[in-house]
Structure 1
Amino acid sequence: MSDISINQAYERMNRDLLVDVREDAEVAAGRIPTAIHIPLGELSARLGEIDRNRDVIAVCRSGNRSSRATAVLKSAGYKVDNMAGGMMAWQAAGLPTV
């Protein structure tokens, strides 16, 4: 598991699979356009929705929950990185959201 910067995540957003593990209300306020949304509490039960053939980047609000998600994904055999700073850093940098 490693942390990557928001800029690295931005460069990889169209190649890798971004998994947003925030809660519904947080995602409704803005998410990365290519991200899929699976709340952290549902992640273990929904691993089948995540393509095992793609590298994964875990995303949350600040980087804490995505760090936990990264551990779950790693233990399930995924190649995964944690986006340090989360959506707070992404939005502060003016990177695209929907």
Structure 2
Amino acid sequence: MSDVETVSVNQIPEGGFILDVREDYEFEAGHVPGARHIPLAEIPMQYTDLDPDEDTYVICRTGGRSAQAALWLTAQGFTAINVAGGSGAWIDAGKPIVSENGLDPVIK
């Protein structure tokens, strides 16, 4: 199994397409504004909804699930890039997050 390309949160280009693969409750609590959400377990059923010609920056909480998803998507012909450190690194870099539950956003 080959390694997948990995970038820091600061290497994601402005307006880059971000795919969040955390569970529903994690995404609802706090996520990158504008991120698309597909939980890791649902990627094989929903990946055809994604654009294979668009660079996909895959994020989770710490980088493990996103690496799995990016590797799988790459095998399907996508340009999928793992975001090192995940949402935790996003917060540490001072980048904004939003929630879907009406509460202050948090990363779970």
Q: What's the TM-score, normalizing by structure 1?
A: 0.91
- Is the 8 Å Cα contact of residues 61 and 88 (structure 1) preserved in structure 2? yes
Q: What's the TM-score, normalizing by structure 2?
A: 0.83
- CA-to-partner distance for each residue in 1:47-88, whole Å, 9 max, x for gaps? 111111211111000000000001110011001110000001
CA distance in 1, matches of 2:53, 2:75: 16
Q: Does 1:74 align with 2:56?
A: no
**Structure richer in helix, relative to its length:** 1
- CA-to-partner distance for each residue in 1:4-49, whole Å, 9 max, x for gaps? 001012xx240x3211000011111211112100000000110111
Unpaired segments ≥5 residues, structure 2: 99-108
- Is the 8 Å Cα contact of residues 18 and 56 (structure 1) preserved in structure 2? yes
Unpaired segments ≥5 residues, structure 1: none
- Identity in percent: 40
CA distance in 2, matches of 1:51, 1:34: 16
Alignment correspondent of 1:4: 7
**Larger of the two Rg values belongs to structure:** 2
Q: May I ask how many residue pairs the two structures share in their alignment?
A: 95
CA distance in 2, matches of 1:13, 1:44: 27
1:6-45 matches, within 5 Å, as 6-9=9-12, 12-14=13-15, 16-45=16-45
1:50-89 matches, within 5 Å, as 50-89=50-89
Q: Once superposed, which parts of structure 1, at least 4 consecutive aligned residues long, lie more than 3 Å away?
A: none
CA RMSD of aligned residues (A): 1.0
CA distance in 2, matches of 1:4, 1:89: 11
